[in-house]
Amino acid sequence: MSDKNLPNQVSANTLRRLPYYLSYLKTLKNTDVSYISAPVIASELDLNEVQVRKDLAAISSVAGKPKKGFEIDVLINDIQAYIGCDVNNCGILVGAGHLGRALLAYSGFEAYGLNIIAAFDSNPAAVGKDIAGKSVYHTDALLDFCKKTPVTIGIITVPAEDAQEICDLLIKANVKAIWNFAPVKLCTPDGVIIQNENIAASLTIINKKLAEQF
């Protein structure tokens, strides 16, 4: 049973806020304060005080102390543990275009438990290259690669029209989760985790707000 004393139904919104808490708490680590209260976090991060308390209660087993707040070090540890900083998932990336290369080179994912170990592309010009110390193989080699080295997370950075095909391939390769950067809904069997990253959506929101303002 996956029974913990923490609620196992934390909303995606809460999850989204965790990295912000973490980043803020880390800025306090160098200072001399060792406790932080929910109202202070809330005002710094422009959130509601109760919301902060609920978020923290959901992911941390430690209780806050009246008049002082929460112990910063403990909070940092709990958030990191909850986020999965301690896990180590192997990932491969398919589509070594601009976006793909950037993600390959980006070093921030290790802090969130993801280790991208290789990339794949069907473009002969990309195959064989080395990006940030990671090799780019031909997509045809993907299945064999995953037989030898079990991969948990597949990252899709191919154009929208190719995304489903790559998705099918990744599922055949037995990945447990797919992180999809193409703006398309992928068809997947039950049990495979899909996380859509939607950069265009943010631009849409910006455009809308800009248009509203003027």
Residues in touch with its own copies (CB under 8 A): 2, 8, 10, 12, 15-16, 18-20, 22-24, 27, 44-46, 82-84, 87, 89, 98-99, 101-103, 105-109, 111-114, 132, 152-153, 160-161, 176-177, 179, 183-185, 191, 193, 195, 197-213
DSSP β-bridge partners for residue 115:
90
Distance CA 93, CA 181 (A): 11
User: Packing angle between helix 49-59 and helix 72-83, nearest 10 degrees?
Assistant: 70
Report the length, in residues, of the chain. Answer: 214
| Residue 38 engages DNA in binding (rule: CB under 7 A) | yes
CB of 46 or CB of 161, closer to DNA: 46
Cβ of residue 84: shortest distance to its own copies, in angstroms? 3
Cβ of residue 210: shortest distance to its own copies, in angstroms? 6
Q: How far is CA 53 from CA 8, 49, 63, 83, 152, in A?
A: 17, 6, 10, 17, 33
Q: CA end-to-end span of the chain, whole Å?
A: 55
Q: What are phi and psi of 156, to 5 degrees?
A: -105, 115
The binder of 53, among DNA, its own copies, none, by C-beta within 5 to 8 A per type, is: DNA
CB of 37 or CB of 164, closer to DNA: 37
Cβ of residue 143: shortest distance to DNA, in angstroms? 35
| Residue 43 engages DNA in binding (rule: CB under 7 A) | no
Token output for 77: 């540890």
Cβ of residue 29: shortest distance to DNA, in angstroms? 18
Q: Which residues of 14-43 are buried (b: 16+ CB within 10 A; e: fewer)?
A: beebbeebbeebeebeeeeeebbbbebbbe
Token output for 214: 């003027």
Site string for DNA, 57-76 (x = CB under 7 A): x-----xxxxxxxx------
Binding residues (CB under 7 A) for DNA: these are 11-14, 37-40, 47-51, 53-54, 56-57, 63-70
